[in-house]
């Protein structure tokens, strides 16, 4: 294990320049794997039932992270299954416009792309049963393009989609370890997919196998009864780099021999959905930059603050196309 706060960054910093900003065909520094759906949300905030204009966008925890890391200057890729339908091809196109490599995505002719609707401040409605992403399985493990990747980013959402998707997650973590790829895992417990009792042991087992883990203090309390960041750290003492987010209070990172805390930014919140992905994206981009832990946390907070001010899962970068539609 490397010294001080560079436990995870030690491997990624070497060769980061080779993976960032290079030409077509260069390996991605970060590969994100997991479900992405078509997302519909009121364009200007307000309730879903009352809005006149809507955004039609790509939304998924792992691909959101890839888009944020790409926006901060690093090569990223995303792998999953999408329906071979207009929404699936639209999702892939939108991610490509955000500089995320989608060349390895599988388009499934038999199963549709999932859809979800945001009702800002009042939750999310999902229409994902039987989606192409839920058909991920161990057969897909060998298809994932890991060559040259330094960090594989996953989340607990994949494990909740179906037994075959959970088996896929298990297999891709094994393959990453075998090939020397670091694993980043966001717990991302979704009550809409599975209850705490069912999820707790499964998510804990996946988190224990990762090199870098993100979790919310509140979700950890719901899953494992750990109330404070220190209690969460005690439960996951063997995780090399553990990041605990605590809403508008701040975030703490625990390493083998140190811990650091950074307060959250003060933000006028439009919608909280997607902020955790933005935080992880900012944090991982800072890891690739070789930044020390306090700066990783600050970059996570900066990225999350931008997302909190919009109804979308991602941020419209001023220098890039977003390929986002407005529905009226």
Residue-wise pLDDT tens digits, 118-135: 888 788 899 999 999 999
pLDDT in tens, 62-74: 999 999 999 999 9
Instruction: Name the percent of the chain lying above pLDDT 70.
Output: 84
**Of 5 and 64, more confident:** 64
Angle between helices 196-208 and 163-178 (to 10 degrees): 10
Round to whole Å and give the CA distance between 213 and 241. Answer: 6
CATH number (3.40.50.300, 3.30.1600.10, 3.30.930.10, 3.40.1190.20) of 4-312 reads 3.40.1190.20
Of 51-60, 111-120, 206-215, the range with the highest mean pLDDT is: 206-215
In the prediction, which pLDDT does 149 show? Answer: 97
* 8 Å CB contact between 211 and 182: yes
Alpha-carbon dihedral angle through residues 297, 302, 305, 307, given to the nearest 10 degrees = -100
In the prediction, which pLDDT does 306 show? Answer: 86
Three-class SS state of 281: helix
pLDDT in tens, 230-274: 999 999 999 999 999 998 899 999 999 899 999 988 776 665 666
Please say if 277 is a catalytic residue: yes
In the prediction, which pLDDT does 327 show? Answer: 54
Round to whole Å and give the CA distance between 301 and 190. Answer: 22
Selection from 230, 190, 232 nearest residue 214 by Cα: 232
Backbone dihedral angles phi then psi of residue 251, each to the nearest 5 degrees: -140, 150
Three-class SS state of 124: strand
In the prediction, which pLDDT does 80 show? Answer: 98
Instruction: Examine the pLDDT at 6 and tell me if it is beyond 70.
Output: no
Domain ranges of the chain: 4-312
17, 29, 282, 310 from 73: Cα distances, Å: 10, 10, 11, 22
145 pLDDT band (50/70/90 cuts)? very high
Instruction: Examine the pLDDT at 309 and tell me if it is beyond 70.
Output: no
Instruction: Examine the pLDDT at 5 and tell me if it is beyond 60.
Output: no
Round to whole Å and give the CA distance between 265 and 84. Answer: 40
Angle between helices 275-288 and 293-308 (to 10 degrees): 150
| Residue from 101, 119, 211, 277 carrying the catalytic annotation | 277
Round to whole Å and give the CA distance between 107 and 76. Answer: 19
Q: Which stretch of 41-45, 148-152, 165-169, 212-216 has the lowest confidence by average pLDDT?
A: 41-45
Selection from 57, 261, 269, 66 nearest residue 155 by Cα: 66
Selection from 279, 233, 283 nearest residue 258 by Cα: 233
* 8 Å CB contact between 58 and 183: no
Round to whole Å and give the CA distance between 164 and 132. Answer: 12
Three-class SS state of 185: strand
**Of 307 and 30, more confident:** 30
* 8 Å CB contact between 229 and 246: yes
Q: Across the strands, what pairs with 37? A: 59
């Amino acid at each position: 294990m490397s010294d001080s706060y560079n436990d995870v960054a030690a491997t990624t910093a070497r060769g980061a320049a080779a993976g960032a900003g290079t030409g077509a065909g260069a390996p991605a520094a970060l590969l994100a794997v997991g479900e992405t759906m078509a997302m519909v949300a009121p364009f200007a905030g307000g309730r879903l039932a009352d809005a006149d204009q809507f955004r039609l966008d790509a939304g998924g925890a792992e691909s959101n992270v890839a888009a944020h890391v790409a926006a901060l200057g690093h090569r990223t890729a995303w792998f999953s299954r999408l329906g071979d339908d207009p929404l699936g091809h639209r999702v892939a196109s939108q991610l490509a416009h955000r500089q995320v490599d989608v060349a390895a995505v599988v388009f499934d002719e038999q199963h549709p792309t999932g859809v979800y609707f945001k009702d800002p401040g009042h939750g999310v409605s999902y229409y994902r049963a039987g989606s192409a992403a839920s058909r991920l399985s161990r057969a897909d493990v060998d298809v994932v393009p890991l060559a040259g990747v330094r960090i594989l980013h996953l989340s607990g959402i994949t494990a909740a989609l179906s037994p075959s998707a959970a088996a896929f997650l298990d297999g891709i973590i094994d393959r990453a370890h075998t090939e020397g790829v670091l694993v980043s895992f966001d717990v991302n417990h979704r009550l809409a997919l599975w209850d705490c009792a069912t999820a707790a042991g499964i998510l804990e087992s996946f988190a224990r196998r990762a090199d870098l883990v993100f979790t919310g203090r509140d979700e950890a309390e719901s899953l494992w009864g750990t109330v404070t960041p220190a209690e969460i750290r005690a439960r996951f003492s063997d995780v090399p780099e553990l990041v605990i987010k605590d809403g508008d209070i701040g975030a703490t990172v625990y390493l083998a021999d140190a811990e650091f805390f950074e307060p959250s930014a003060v933000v006028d919140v439009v919608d909280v959905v997607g902020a955790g992905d933005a935080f992880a994206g900012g944090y991982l981009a800072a890891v690739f930059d070789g930044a020390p832990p306090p700066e990783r946390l600050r970059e996570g907070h900066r990225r999350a603050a931008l997302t909190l001010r919009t109804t979308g899962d991602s941020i419209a970068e001023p220098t890039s196309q977003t390929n986002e539609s407005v529905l009226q």
